[in-house]
Structure 1
Amino acid sequence: MFCTRTPDCTGTVDETGFCDRCGLAPRRADRSPRRGSGTTPPAAGETWTVADLVPLPVLEFPTDERVLRDPVVPEHQRFCARCGGPVGRGGKDRLDHGFCVRCQTPFAFVPDLERGDRVADQYEVVGYLARGGLGQVYLARDTHLDDNPVALKRLINKTDRHALAVEVAERRYLTTLDHPTIVRIFNFVTAPDRLFGGQASYLVMEYLNGMSLAELCRAAHDPARPDISLPLEHILAYAHEILTALDYLHRRGLLYTDLHPGNVIRTADRIKLIDLGGVRRVDDRSSPLVGTPLYRVSDREVETHGATVRSDLYSVGVLLAELSRGLVPGPGAPAAEVGVESFLRLVRRARHAEPERRFASATEMSEQIRGVLHELLPTRSVHEQPASSTVFSPTPTLFDAGLGAVPPLAHWTRPGASILRAHGQPAPAAVATGLPVPRPASGDPAAEFLTTVGALDPESLLDGLDAFDTPSVEIELARCRARLELGDPPRAWDALTAAERQLGDDASVDWRMTWHHALLALTQGDVSRAGDLFDQVYGELPGEIAPKLALAYCAEHTGHAGRATRYYEAVWRRDRLTASAAFGLARLRLAGRDRTGAVAALDGVPRFSRHHDTARIAAVRALTTWLGDEPPDAASLNAAVGRLAELRLDGGSPHGEARDRLTTTVLEAALERILATGPDGLDGGGTFGEPPSETALRRRLARSFRGLARQQARNRNDHGVLLDRANTVRPLTLL
């Protein structure tokens, strides 16, 4: 059977159900149930946790499950490990071992060792596990150490210089590597070679009892295996563990080069990379490159750049894409939930055709994976502090457009003041200067200096920046933001241009430049362009909150309420300290005449948030504001009065200027309700009197206006206007 997993794979599927080229099983329509369960359901509650986020079930695997009953490789799967041509075929006259007629590379499609053989007088062979492109693997028992299971890996092509180089490299690197997600090597031994004569060399490695991700993927799509699942969050958790292994290698100047699902084993409670035959030094441009075609970067990239950290990360992106087929929407599908959208953007960046646009390090990619996982996993407790971003600093700014503030006295004293509509949008310039700020890049000469500057007003900050005399991109970006706060876009543009000049060609692929261009566009009122630029940053940083918050505002401002709601909700689910998202949802719901939903969003701001009291004030105003042409109903007004009594205003005093103004707002809304709907408009509650009446409300509101005039008016004009309002609303009398 030919592989149908991907259009470009030319491999064939063997009796185990896996392609001999890409390592994956065919699509569901081509699969047949695998016989013999490889796992035992875990005991209830047995899990292991990845990245402190994803609980994964502990699985149990029989020790000898992976031993092949028939170790002979079928003819249709016999290819040369070097040139890829068919070898060892011919029916009855076929050769089970020999040399490729094209390139003279040795091949062997039968095992050299048999059950019961003892290698180096220590390792007793149990059976044949697998044949890879460059070797064979056996399960054995270490008779010198309590019969512990080990894996013996033999390189077949020992006379080929390429294979010898791989053997030497694997032996050298594996003996020095020690990481929980990388297979361990214990020994290096030799034994007589029955196939080709002389001596064969064997690596003695840790035996990993489990399933490869290729096998796990097949089992998860097999109706006969309901005990195995592979949801998107598990796939990301496995990728996170793979990246920890790659980061370990990269920090030691090594590249893995041959990542694919068959080279990753899922054991009972761990993920491990195996088959380190392709490991090479970062600066090695001469050794033949080991890699699986589907998961390797283009030949052109290899010729231009060689193997790099970014080419390893490309393979992680392909692995994520392949394992997630059927779990995420394809091109042209309706918009997915934000967590899935973030996953797709993560994969897109990792697989980008231009190396410089991929993730720069395994750490950077794993941090974004953690962010995406936060969006995919169920909402955690609102009392749990969110993980801080390594990319953006938190902002104290709240985008509430005054919704969370007690109306100032000017609401009644300015000309033309009328009943409050309290769900307007923040101004673009205010959002531009209030969004989270990118943290200084660690390699910038001013990084440490900027972390010690503290929160200064823009003028003082500019003075401090001028004192730093070393060229710095971060200094220019800080200068750009300060100029935006001062309302000086031209000079902000000059600072951004200076930063780009320092970066040179790298400026076009630096998301920080895109972010600051978006801030400039917002300041100048070009919200649509700002949204496009923030969307680019989202593509670069799919696990971050800040771009989604910015996108939500831009969508709200340009009238795309559905998109704005998706992003505000995604931010709010993940971080209850980003109260701007709650206020954004409240505004959108008020605009959609969903007063209950707006109040619910505001009530979600937790007590430990600095914006908790502001949200409670905003809830009172949301209950009293008009929605289009509709005044608040009686239940909303009664609820507002109850909430008003519970607010901590004026330093906790039961009376004070803020409470008096907010009380006036509620009374004014109640009177407007009666005037708009008639004398029965407040039926259903006793908050405004029993029974509620227009006369009673007018008297109370007139007293409120007179109190404001007496206690809060700061000039004769305000005093007179407030008295005029009191006289206007008081009940008419005969005297």
Structure 2
Amino acid sequence: MTDGTRGGGPPGGAALCHRPDCPAAGHGRINDRGFCSECGHKAQGPAPGAASPGAPASASGTPEASGILESESTATAARARRRAVAGKFTVRPAGDGLMDLPRVELPSLRDLIDNDPQPPPKGQPCAGQGCEETVGAAYAGQPALWAGFCPRPDCRHPFDFTPKLRPGDLLGGQYEVVGCVAYGGLGWVYLAEDTQLDRQPVAIKGLINDDDETAQRAAVEERRYLTLLDHQGILRIINYVPHPDRDSGRLRGYIVMEFVAGMTLAGIRDRIKRSEPPFDDSRLYQYILTYGAHILDALEYLHGEKLVYCDIKPSNVMHHEGRVKVIDLGAVRRLGQRDGPVTYTDWFASPEVRERGAADLTELHDLYGVGRTLLNLSDKAVRADQRPPGLGAESYRRLLDRATAFDPRRRFRSAREMAEQLRGVLRELHSLRLEREQPEPSTLFSPTAALLDSGLGRIPGLERWLAGEARPVLADGRPDPAEVPFGLPVPFPDAKDPGAALLNTPTGSGPRRLIEQLGAFPHESAEIRFRICRAHLELGEPADAEAQLRAVERIIGGGAPYDWRLNWHRALVRLTEGAVAEARQEFDAVYDALPGEYAPKLALGYCAEHLRDHGAAEQFYQAVWQRNRSQGSAAFGLARLRLAAGDRTGAVDVLGGVPKVSRHHDAAQIATVRALAGRLGHPDRLPTETDFAEALTRLPRLYLDDGRASGHARERLTAEVLEVALDWVLRYGAADDAREAGALFGERDEQSAVRARLEKALRALAQQADSPEALEVLVDRANAVRPMTRV
């Protein structure tokens, strides 16, 4: 087993490697002999159990722990070999698709043949029962050993890393060995050709040591599981053949597999670190997430077969051509299997399995390994132009934080759940990078017809002219916190909840009647309680809503601290109470749990906007808006931020991007006209002539009054625009030279023209009055703007 792979967990209190060149970044475990499980180097400083520097060598020729020094020449040669092999691959740019990967190609499979195979320079963990000694490692300037005995006096288990097959060997009368390619966790890998099938290339894998019972058992398990597996993302087993040993004549077992000519993600990691194209720009994180998506697809299949992979890490995932394959399934175990040690690599293994082994092995251990694998790749991206834009980096971080949470109950519950959130983050990165939307319906939240807007996209009512304010500024449009819960998406009921079927049945009941009906449900149901909670919020009863959430906590029991639905509904209650800062904290917890979803980002955008944290609000709204242009609430949020900064053009650009297919398109068009023609923040902040010209061009095209050319809505909006137009003419226009100063209507007496139009509009509003008092006010307003008659 290589790269620090172990059977069982580490001893308690093991030291960690702090070498600056260690790929595990301070997490590689130092074994009893002083070597790091990740980088393979001697620890800097004393290691646990180290003997004195002058300790004598053991009988096998291996010195005691403190005398072991890795041979720099051996390590250098190994690194040179890896670079030479990697250099033979051609990496072509990816296509433009969301999950397109660079294409990794190898001109000739024979380029992979190692004509001078060497023993693993870092050695291997001893195969003796319960022994974790490293055997065969290079030391004291000497090369790594091919064969010998474990130096631990109470073990002395033999090891032999010699390749047992040579070029020309014919296995099973069918598979002709071409040469040795590499050593893997449980054995050497050879390239061979199928002489009965057009000399198709195959990979052959044998045991490290014929006498190694642990390796033999693992190989048998590997053969059993792999022959049953059929997934495009998992290495396929073709056959299993025996072959006599050249020296002893004993039959050895070999596994025949499809040959995958590609680079492992460990090789990709090296290219990322060197910022080699195409891993040198911000698309890098899309590639990393795409690797994760493919790995999770394979794991979902394995978990469905009641298997756990156990040892996910970069060196066990292959990128070949434009595809990804999980390889080396020697560590696969049955779910629930409690006997024998678990094979894993320390830095990629979950804390519970490192601590308690097979007793705590579940699918969540694999998800932890995926998170650590992606982190191991992205940590090598040190250049600023490799980082994702906008909120993408934060969403990526939260995705990995949940996958690698110390407490397994805080991790994703399944490979499918993690893949769903991963793909959401992937779409976010893609849309932010290209400013091109990547919409996909959520499986957790239902869309809402409501719009987070309180006036910007609405036609003003008659009260605007009846209030007595002479020169009102444009309404900001930010809704009151108590309105927001009804403009946010609603979580779908959990299908496993006993009340889900009832909640999926349409009802026309009002909130009070709905509370009575759902209260009669005879079973304990968290989803029923959540719905009653939202009904109380509709009625403005946050205390009763909070009581429903306490009932949900009782129903869920120990899982309550890990259920994002509780955080979501607590945030709604806090908004209704006006406690926006507290709501923001609860929505942030939902973002932690669901980093790929729209809903928590939209909610956090509003909270940040309300709390005047406009930088954060911009990032949240942009993440939602760029990914799905039909999300009108995000567009309106961005438009409000632009208008608050005095940027009419920016607001109009965002609102103009709401597509016709969006239910919020018409509101966005109304808001565009109002933004172009309104007073921003102060009565004296008037639009430019260009803004007015655009507003007057758009106004007749608006879909108002059910498509009629005239009606109450069009009359009110026209009156609002003309009132500001009169202000503009009074400030910038002149009766006789208006065309030279700038004319809105192209008439010589611009002021009279605007006054006449505004008078007509206000008299039309007077026809909408529903009381004599309102009629009188509107007629007076019309008379006040009437143009003077010339004699």
Code of the residue aligned with 1:719 in structure 2: it is L
For the residue of structure 2 that corresponds to 1:494, the secondary structure is helix
Distance 1:545 1:420 in 2: 32
Q: Which residue of 2 aligns with 1:165?
A: 217
Indicate whether 1:714 and 2:773 are aligned. Answer: no
1:128-139 matched pairs, under 5 angstroms:
128-139=180-191
Q: Aligned match of 1:72 in 96, 114, 118? A: 118
Question: What corresponds to 2:597 in structure 1?
Answer: 544
Give me the whole-angstrom Cα distance separating, in 1, the residues matched to 2:740 and 2:681. 22
2:399 to 320, 333, 346: 346
Written as runs of structure 1 = structure 2, the 5 A alignment for 1:304-323 is 306-323=360-377
Q: For residues 80 and 94 of structure 1, what CA distance do their matches in structure 2 show?
A: 14
Distance 1:93 1:452, change over 3 A: closer
Partner amino acid, structure 1, of 2:161: F
* Matches of 1:428 and 1:84, distance apart in 2: 62
Alignment gaps of 5+ in structure 2:
1-18, 32-37, 42-74
Matched, 1:492 2:545: yes
How far residue 659 of structure 1 moved from its aligned partner, in angstroms, is 1.1
SS at structure 2 position matched to 1:702 = helix
Match of 2:756 in 1: 699
- How far is the alpha carbon of 1:461 from its aligned partner? 3.3
Deviation at 1:644, TM superposition (A): 0.5
1:687 aligns with 2:733: no
2:135 is matched by which residue type in structure 1? Answer: P
Alpha-carbon distance between aligned partners in 1 of 2:144 and 2:726, rounded to the nearest angstrom: 98
Q: Which residues in structure 2 correspond to 1:626-645 (within 5 Å)?
A: 626-629=679-682, 630-645=685-700
Match of 1:649 in 2: 704
Q: 1:66 corresponds to which letter in structure 2?
A: L
State the distance in 1 between where 2:761 and 2:171 align.
97
| CA distance, structure 2, for counterparts of residue 97 and residue 421 of structure 1 | 83
Q: Does the 8 Å CA contact 2:175/2:195 hold for their aligned counterparts? A: yes
- Classify 1:533/1:299 alpha carbon distance in 2 versus 1 (closer, same or farther; 3 Å): closer
State the Cα distance separating 1:425 from its structure 2 match: 1.1
Would you say how many aligned residue pairs link Structure 1 and Structure 2? 715
In the alignment, the residues of structure 2 paired with residue 694 and residue 89 of structure 1 have an alpha-carbon distance, to the nearest angstrom, of 93
C-alpha deviation, 1:513, in angstroms: 0.5
CA distance in 1, matches of 2:188, 2:436: 53
SS at match of 1:200: strand
Amino acid in structure 2 at the alignment position of 1:7: G
RMSD of equivalent CA atoms:
3.2
Distance 2:648 2:340 in 1: 67
3-state SS of 1:429 partner = helix
> Match of 2:84?
35
Q: How does 1:263-302 map to 2 (within 5 A)?
A: 263-298=316-351, 302=355
Distance 1:424 1:327, change over 3 A: same
Q: Is 1:57 aligned to 2:72, yes or no?
A: no
Per the TM alignment, residue 672 of structure 1 is displaced from its structure 2 partner at its CA by 2.2
Sort the Cα spacing of 1:534 and 1:196 in 2 relative to 1 into closer, same or farther, 3 A: farther
Is residue 270 of structure 2 the alignment partner of residue 218 of structure 1? yes
State the distance in 2 between where 1:31 and 1:662 align.
Answer: 74
Find the aligned partners of 1:247 and 1:297 in 2 and give their Cα distance: 18
Letter in structure 2 aligned against 1:701: L
Unaligned runs of 5+ in 1: 13-17
CA–CA distance in 1 between the matches of 2:268 and 2:247? 34
Deviations 1:342-386 (A, max 9, x none): 111111111111110011110011111111111111469999782
- 3-state DSSP class of the match of 1:59? strand
2:147 counterpart (76, 91, 97): 97
SS in 1 for 2:201: strand
Residue correspondence of structure 1 range 71-470 to structure 2 within 5 A: 71-73=117-119, 77=123, 80=126, 83-87=132-136, 96-102=146-152, 103-194=155-246, 198-222=250-274, 226=277, 231-298=284-351, 302-303=355-356, 306-327=360-381, 337-378=390-431, 386-416=439-469, 418-453=471-506, 457-470=510-523
Deviates more, 1:213-222 or 1:233-242: 213-222
Letter in structure 2 aligned against 1:390? T
- TM-score for the superposition, normalised by structure 2: 0.84
Q: Secondary structure at the match of 2:607?
A: helix
**Alignment partners' CA distance in 2, 1:31 and 1:589:** 55
1:728 to partner: Cα distance: 2.3
Q: Is the 8 A contact 2:122 2:144 kept in 1?
A: no
Say if 1:2 and 1:10, in contact at 8 Å, map to a contact too. Answer: no
Deviation per CA, 1:404-460, whole angstroms, max 9, x where unpaired? 111111111135464242223111111112211111122211223322235754234
Match in the other structure for 2:636: 583
Bigger CA drift: 91-100 or 441-450?
Answer: 91-100
CA contact (8 A) 1:128 1:137 kept: yes
Aligned residue type for 2:26:
P
Deviation of 1:199 (Å): 2.4
Equivalent residue for 2:525, pick from 472, 487, 495: 472
User: Is 1:673 matched up with 2:731?
Assistant: no
Secondary structure of 2:338 counterpart: coil
Residue 150 of structure 1 aligns to a residue whose secondary structure is strand
Opposite residue 654 of structure 1, the aligned amino acid is A
Q: Identify which range, 75-84 or 272-281, moves more after superposition.
A: 75-84
For 1:159-203, what per-residue CA distance to the aligned partner results, in whole angstroms no more than 9, with x for missing partners? Answer: 444323312221211111110000111111212234676322111
Matched, 1:566 2:615: no
What amino acid is the match of 2:754?
L
Supply the distance in 1 between the matched residues of 2:616 and 2:742 (Cα, whole angstroms).
38
Over 3 Å counting, the alpha-carbon distance change for 1:356 and 1:696 in structure 2 is: same
Task: Look up the equivalent residue of 2:395 and give its one-letter code.
Answer: S
Aligned to 2:52: none
**Structure 1 residue 640, shift from structure 2 partner:** 1.1
CA deviation after TM superposition for structure 1 residue 487, in Å:
1.0
Deviation at 1:731, TM superposition (A): 3.9
Displacement of 1:121: 2.0
Distance 1:405 1:32, change over 3 A: farther
SS in 2 for 1:375: helix
- SS of equivalent residue, structure 1 residue 453: coil
Write the deviation string for residues 80-124 of structure 1: whole angstroms up to 9, x where unpaired: 356242337688898522442433444222211111111222211
Would the aligned equivalents of 1:432 and 1:522 in 2 still touch at CA under 8 Å?
A: yes
Q: How far has the Cα of 1:578 moved from its partner?
A: 0.8
Offset of residue 533 of structure 1: 1.3
Classify the secondary structure of the residue corresponding to 1:34.
Answer: helix
- Percentage identity across aligned positions? 45
Secondary structure of residue in 2 paired with 1:202 = strand
Deviation of 1:309 (Å): 1.1
SS, match of residue 330 in structure 2: helix
Query: Following the alignment from structure 1 to structure 2, what is the Cα–Cα distance between the partners of residues 31 and 559?
Result: 55
Call closer, same or farther: CA 1:402–1:195 in 2, change over 3 Å: farther
Structure 2 counterpart of 1:183, one-letter code? L
Offset at residue 523 of structure 1 (A):
0.7
Normalized against structure 1, the TM-score is what?
0.90
Mapped partners of 2:121, 2:612: distance in 1: 63
